[in-house]
Amino acid sequence: MAKIPPHIVDEIIQTARIEEVIGDFVSLKRAGSNLKGLSPFTDEKTPSFVVSPGKQIFKCFSTSKGGNVVSFLMEKEHFSYPEALRWLAERYGIQIPEDRPETPEEIAARSERESLHIINEFARDHFKDNLHNSNEGKKIGMSYFVERGFRPDIIDKFELGYCLNSGKGFSDAALAKGYKLEYMEKVGLTKTKDDRYFDFFRGRVIFPIHSVSGRVLGFGGRTLITDKKVAKYFNSPESIIYNKSEILYGLYHSKGDIIKYDQCYLCEGYTDVIAMYQAGIQNVVASSGTSLTKEQIRLVKRYTKNMTILYDGDAAGIKASFRGIDLILEEGMNVKVVLFPEGEDPDSYSKSVSTSELETYLKEHTQDFISFKADILTDEDDDDPIKRAEFIRDIIHSVSLIPDQITRNVYMQTIGQRFDMSEQVLASELAKLRKEKLDQDAKRSARAQQTPRPAPSSNQIHPDLPPEDWVPPEYRDEPTQETAKAKPSTPQIDHNEYDLMRILVQYGPLALTQKGLNDQGEEEEFETSIAELICHELDVDELTFEHPTYAKMHRIITDALSENTLLKSSYFKRMEDQDIVRFVSDIEMNEREVSHNWVAKYNIYTNTEKDKLQAAVMGSIYSFKHSKVEQRIRKIQERLADSSNLPDDEELMGLLAEQVALENVKRALAERLGRIVLR
């Protein structure tokens, strides 16, 4: 069977919805943001099978099976890895091209795409550092966010930053790191004019724009200058990694709550999303000033069929936004509307009331789209019969777009009651508009069939797909059907190994500040990633993981580091090795976060592991080393106690000296861990 190209594998996994696939095999019921049902792998009476649509993973607590949608099919249907992928591709209409090597052009395009992502991630970190550590960033950028009422934890969560007003501070820093000016221009971070170059976002606070999986696709920059000639917001230009019509700001952070509450609030701007999120309404996204598109609506539809649009109280463009309502209806979704008081928007209003008051306002002022459109349209020319007929026809047109016939009929009854009109007359107009729509759809479909479908290109590679060149072939080979179905014995898990690998996967790309000696022998601070720190600590002491799955992951991470690549957990969830997928899925399923509703309501801040990451990382490293030292001491003691094969004098002295040295190391590690060593 031909091997499926990596970018097609990624497209399949990104497109497939785990709740839809598992829903074909298991009856699932909502349980908070997750879904729950009876295990398909064992006979049970109490549901212990959990599916997380937000994380796209499952966990069976009866059998300890878990993983992603591919893992489920391999377990349930006994598919091999390629068979599961092909089954999903067929279900979701994804074309798998014939197996062939990548062309030089495709390799170059894939490399360029990944380079653009890396530059964006460098820019995000650079702007964050400016905000927190530069005098200008703290005085101007941080002051702005504080004045807007944003808490430190929210500033960190949304990775807000600041671009210095020096002209080319970022560009110089990026060039010094070896990034190409050509790529910096392509993502819109740097502009050139004649022989000069300068920072596009100079002097602006920065809002990173994330993909659904968390990669930085672009930026929004707000000026802090009150000059009407200066554009208030600059946004990254479209590129091969950023298509604004396919992105919703905040969706990366809000998708879990959208699923949990089966509702998505849509507002206009970055600060609207952040303010609402901080106030405890976390199922919120923004179109970032662009007109709502079908692609954006379909993104939300992955998580809920219910969307509520939040309008500013003095929004002049409400009538222009009616097209967005029509698009939502056309996608078969339920749409409602909330209008804020005059002079208020989601940002300002959410800061002026408590969380409970905000929730109450949203609940009490939510309207269906018919009453909303009718209220807006009847404010003008209500006495003009021609105008009245026009806006009734406009509302019927919106209803005609709804795919479901029963829903259309219910809305038509509401229109008849609202305007005191005969349902027969309204039904006649609806039938005419439906016929027009069906005719238009048929013509579009005919034209589409006449247009040849383009061959898959390297531009279809998903932005989260990391380069595979540095992954050794033994980690990439597809298993045969026999090896996929083999049931190897489960190795014993050491909790110290588990904890250190968990931290590597969860936090590996994050940066920590360390102290060290420079070339002059002076102590100074430097930044390093957690992955680099852990791998360096293990390498110095020539330590590794004994558990085969962890050992394999450790090799992959160190090989990636040798190519200056930091791996996110999403990479491991796409691997063929289902033991690795299961390990990462289990970690994500066990993640817990304190509700921000409590934070907003009671001003309570609870430290999480991430808040004290330096201590957590070093504690895990020391525990790992302490465990390895104890293991070696036990082996020495067993060797000395082996009466059937006593060591000679030279070996005996060597073993005793090693034991003494190890006891000293053990004592030092125990002191760092705050433990008492019993003799």
Section 273-281 average pLDDT: 95
Answer whether residue 343 shows pLDDT above 80. yes
pLDDT at 669: 79
The confidence score (pLDDT) of residue 513 equals 80
| pLDDT value, residue 594 | 42
Q: What is the mean pLDDT of residues 37-64?
A: 88
What would the two tokens of residue 593 be? 């976060």
Q: What is the pLDDT of residues 567-586, one digit of tens each?
A: 888 889 888 899 999 999 88
Q: Are residues 338 and 195 in the same domain?
A: no
Residue 173 has pLDDT above 90, yes or no: yes
Measured distance CA(102)–CA(233) in Å, rounded: 40
- Is 70 exceeded by the pLDDT of residue 459? no
Total number of domains constituting the chain: 4
Q: What percent of the chain has pLDDT over 90?
A: 33
Q: Over 90: is that where the pLDDT of 279 sits?
A: yes
Residue 226 shares a structural domain with residue 354: no
Please compute the mean of the pLDDT values over residues 135-163 and round it to a whole number: 95
Whether the pLDDT of residue 151 is over 90: the answer is yes
Domain membership flag for residue 144: yes
Could you tell me which residue, 109 or 135, shows the higher pLDDT? Answer: 135
The pLDDT score that the predictor gives to residue 313 is 67
User: What is the distance between the alpha carbons of residues 311 and 237, in angstroms, rounded to a whole number?
Assistant: 26
pLDDT band at 673 (very low <50, low <70, confident <90, very high): confident
Please compute the mean of the pLDDT values over residues 105-113 and round it to a whole number: 79
> Is residue 387 scored above 70 in pLDDT?
yes
Quick one: 399 and 269 in the same domain?
A: yes
Predicted confidence at residue 316, as pLDDT, reads: 56
Residues 18 and 140 placed together within one structural domain of the fold: no
* Residue 511: band (very low, low, confident or very high) from pLDDT cuts 50, 70, 90: confident
> Do the domain assignments include residue 32?
yes
Q: What is the mean pLDDT of residues 311-327?
A: 74
**330 and 440, same domain (yes or no):** yes
Q: Are residues 70 and 129 in the same domain?
A: no
Q: What is the pLDDT of residue 598?
A: 46
Contacts of 14 (CB under 8 A, 6+ apart): 213, 462, 464
CATH number of the domain at 338, please.
3.40.1360.10
Among 70, 101, 132, residue at a domain's last position: 101
Mean pLDDT of 521-535: 83
Q: Give residue 24's pLDDT band: very low, low, confident or very high (50, 70, 90).
A: confident
214-245 burial by CB neighbour count: b if 16+ within 10 A, else e? Answer: ebbbbbbbbbeeeeeeeeeebbbeebebbebe
Query: Does residue 56 fall inside a structural domain?
Result: yes
Whether residues 324 and 435 share a domain: the answer is: yes
Domain membership of residue 119 as a residue range: 108-242
Looking at the domain assignment, is residue 58 inside a domain? yes
User: Among residues 75, 101, 127, which one ends one of the domains?
Assistant: 101
Q: Which of 208-212, 249-253, 587-591 is predicted with the least confidence, judged by mean pLDDT? A: 587-591
**Calculated CA dihedral for residues 184, 187, 191, 196, nearest 10 degrees:** 10
| Range in 259-273, 327-341, 460-474 the model is least confident about | 460-474
pLDDT tens digit sequence for 111-124: 888 899 899 999 99
Same domain, 214 and 318: no
With cut-offs at 50, 70 and 90, classify the pLDDT of residue 484. very low
User: Domain ends where: 409, 430, 445?
Assistant: 445
Residues 117 and 10 in one domain: no
18 and 131, same domain (yes or no): no
| Residue 379 reports pLDDT greater than 60 | yes
Residue 485's pLDDT is: 41
Do 350 and 233 share a domain, yes or no? Answer: no
The answer to whether residue 505 is domain-embedded is no
Express each pLDDT in 410-453 by its tens digit: 888 888 888 888 888 888 888 888 888 888 777 766 665 554 44
> So what's the pLDDT on residue 121?
94
Burial of 416 (0-12, 13-18, 19+ CB in 10 A): middle
Q: pLDDT-derived band of residue 335, with 50, 70 and 90 as boundaries?
A: very high
% of the chain residues with pLDDT over 70 = 85
Report which of residues 491 and 149 the model is more confident about.
149
The lowest-confidence range among 75-89, 342-356, 454-468, 609-623 is 454-468
How large is the average pLDDT for residues 36-47?
86
Cα 677 → chain centroid: 44
What are the backbone angles phi and psi of residue 187, rounded to the nearest 5°? -90, 5
Characterize the bridge pairing of strands 34-37 and 29-31: antiparallel
Identify the sign of the CA torsion 353, 206, 531, 572. positive
Contact present, 658 and 636 (Cβ < 8 Å): yes
CATH number at residue 36: 3.90.580.10
Between CA 388 and CA 384 the distance in angstroms is 6
Structure tokens at 470: 């540095």
In a domain, 225, yes or no: yes
Residues 60 and 196 occupy one common structural domain? no
The answer to the question of residue 345 being in a domain is: yes
Least confidently predicted of 2-6, 125-129, 369-373: 2-6
Split at pLDDT 50, 70, 90, the class of 534 is: very high
Which of 169-173, 439-443, 593-597 has the highest average model confidence (pLDDT)?
A: 169-173
DSSP sequence for 21-89? HHHTTS--EEETTEEEE--SSS--SS--EEEETTTTEEEETTT--EE-HHHHHHHHS---HHHHHHHHH
Question: Can you give the CATH number for the domain in which 171 is found?
Answer: 3.90.980.10
Of residues 599 and 579, more confidence is placed in 579
What's the one-letter identity of residue 540? V
Q: Is residue 308 situated within a structural domain?
A: yes
Give the model's confidence band at 314: pLDDT under 50 very low, under 70 low, under 90 confident, else very high: low
Mean pLDDT for all residues in the chain: 82
